[in-house]
Amino acid sequence: MANKPMTKTQLVAALAEKMDADKKTAGAALEAVVDIITSEVSAGGAVTLPGVGKIYCRERPERMVRNPATGEQFKKEADKQVKMTIAKALKDSVNA
């Protein structure tokens, strides 16, 4: 069974330890990175995190979908979906 995912508090603490900085600085750095990624992907761009992967926005066309509870079919409007492609280096380190 898998471990629980790392929380934001744990991530900030680990980041602070790696940076040799306090948690406030590490938290601000993490927030800045998240803000940059959010604004870039929202604008239709992509962000590559070296060694981790690429985060991008994909447009999905209008399509017919079915409500599984009732079986009713209806048209779903075109929308956007955030996707992430995992880097080969990360895949290899997990499978090593």
Confidence band of 36 (pLDDT split at 50, 70, 90): very high
Whole-number average pLDDT of the chain: 92
Neighbours of 30 (CB within 10 A): 15
Give the mean pLDDT of 14-23: 94
Looking at residue 3, its pLDDT comes to 83
For helices 8-19 and 23-42, the axis angle rounded to 10 degrees is 110
Residue 1 has pLDDT above 50, yes or no: no
Looking at residue 96, its pLDDT comes to 83
The CATH class of 50-96 is few secondary structures
Give the mean pLDDT of 62-76: 92
Domain(s) of CATH 4.10.520.10: residues in the chain: 50-96
Looking at residue 2, its pLDDT comes to 62
- Separation between Cα atoms, residue 13 and residue 7, nearest integer Å: 10
Nearest to 44 by CA among 77, 85, 76, 81: 81
